[in-house]
Amino acid sequence: MVERIDVSPEFMERERVARFKDLKSSAHAFVDALIPGYERDIFNIIGRGVVEDKELLPPITDNRDFNVGLIKADPGKGASLHIHETNEVFIPLTGRWGIYWQNSDGQRHEVVLEPYDTVSVPVGASRGFRNAGDETALMLAVVGGTDPGKVHWPDETIDEARDYGIGLDENGDLVKLEDA
């Protein structure tokens, strides 16, 4: 049984409320974000999730069992193929979003979601997403786990990101590369 706690309005506002107007975003939250076609803004809301930009801190830090963020992208933009160690749920809030995945045989599939449709991508599936609409759109993303690990990128994504001057350190966080 969970022990009941009393919570003040001040505590709720300070620790448990994230106001959209106050959210900070990152246009380089992931190693693929500087590669043409994968530009997007990421807003952390609850927990840091799998974000690689260590400067992008969430307003709600208590992320027991899940992390919540927003993705904002222009038409045709999104994320390259990658793998997570936990489930990932996508819910478009505006526009149309394509959630795609590629099997180990190279066959690629996609489902297009409308606002409020929901997809849960399983652990280990090589997935990506794109704004499939005609206007800038927002999508809610939920990543499972208190510690959801880091994104697993294919070598070709890491190599291409290096061409744009970005890489990952030993902790899986973004670093600017000096020799790029």
- Judge whether 44 lies within some domain: yes
- Judge whether 9 lies within some domain: no
Per-residue confidence (pLDDT) for residue 179, from 0 to 100: 57
How far is Cα 51 from Cα 82, in angstroms, rounded to an integer?
Answer: 13
Number of domains within the chain: 1
Tokens standing for 33? 């974000």
Per-residue confidence (pLDDT) for residue 29, from 0 to 100: 97
Per-residue confidence (pLDDT) for residue 180, from 0 to 100: 46
- Judge whether 105 lies within some domain: yes
Under 8 Å between Cβ of 168 and 175: yes
Range of the domain at 121: 22-176
Per-residue confidence (pLDDT) for residue 49, from 0 to 100: 95
Which tens digits make up the pLDDT trace of 86-131? 999 999 999 999 999 999 999 999 999 999 999 999 999 999 999 9
Assign residue 87 the CATH number of its domain.
Answer: 2.60.120.10
Per-residue confidence (pLDDT) for residue 121, from 0 to 100: 98
- Judge whether 31 lies within some domain: yes
Which tens digits make up the pLDDT trace of 159-180? 999 999 999 999 999 999 975 4
Which tens digits make up the pLDDT trace of 69-79? 999 999 999 99
- Judge whether 10 lies within some domain: no
Residue 28 CB neighbour total at 10 angstroms: 20
Long-range contacts of the stretch 96-100 (C-beta < 8 A, 24+): 96/131, 96/132, 96/133, 96/137, 97/129, 97/130, 97/131, 97/132, 97/133, 97/137, 97/139, 98/129, 98/130, 98/131, 98/132, 99/127, 99/128, 99/129, 100/127, 100/128, 100/129, 100/130
- Judge whether 147 lies within some domain: yes
Tokens standing for 108? 């690629």
Which tens digits make up the pLDDT trace of 24-77? 999 999 999 999 999 999 999 999 999 999 999 999 999 999 999 999 999 999
- Judge whether 8 lies within some domain: no
For the whole model, what pTM was predicted?
A: 0.94
- Judge whether 16 lies within some domain: no
Q: How would you classify the pairing of strands 78-82 and 126-131?
A: antiparallel
